[in-house]
Structure 1
Amino acid sequence: MSDDEQWYYCVADGSVRQGKESRGLDRMGPYPDRATAQRALEIAAERNRAADQADRDWND
């Protein structure tokens, strides 16, 4: 799948776009489909929680 066919979340305005329309600093992704890209912030929060837990486990 080319970059133009994948989905991205734009943090500048909260939109979901297919292809690299947003500048790199504003773009999260790529994601395989629109629904997943719409969950970009939720996915990032889940990953952050998991990484924080892994750090706590490592330090204990």
Structure 2
Amino acid sequence: MANDDTQWYYNPASGQVAQGKELAWDERMGPYESEEAARHALETAAQRTQAADAADEADDNWGVPPKWEN
């Protein structure tokens, strides 16, 4: 993993991007490899949430319901 001082972080409260761990852990999203990637942190998080939700939904669908649910 790269040095944390060279990584980029996004502050969801202010919308600002900073290099290095300038903020407390609960005030930043990241790390990201570039400033541009950090600027898109909320979009990235939304995409990952959608993918995780889809995986959960697929995992919940086992196909044939149990006999007691018929």
Taking structure 2 as the reference length, the TM-score comes to: 0.82
Following TM superposition, the consecutive aligned residue runs of length 4 or more in structure 1 with deviations greater than 6 angstroms are: none
Q: Which has the larger radius of gyration?
A: 2
Aligned residues: 60
Gaps of 5+ in 1: none
Match of 2:13 in 1: 12
The Cα of 1:10 is off from its aligned counterpart by 0.7
Higher strand share goes to which structure?
1
Match of 1:40 in 2: 41
Partner AA of 2:7 in structure 1:
Q
- Compare relative contact order (CA 8 Å, sep 6+) and give the higher one, 1 or 2: 1
Match of 1:58 in 2: 59
How high is the sequence identity, in percent, across the aligned residues?
50
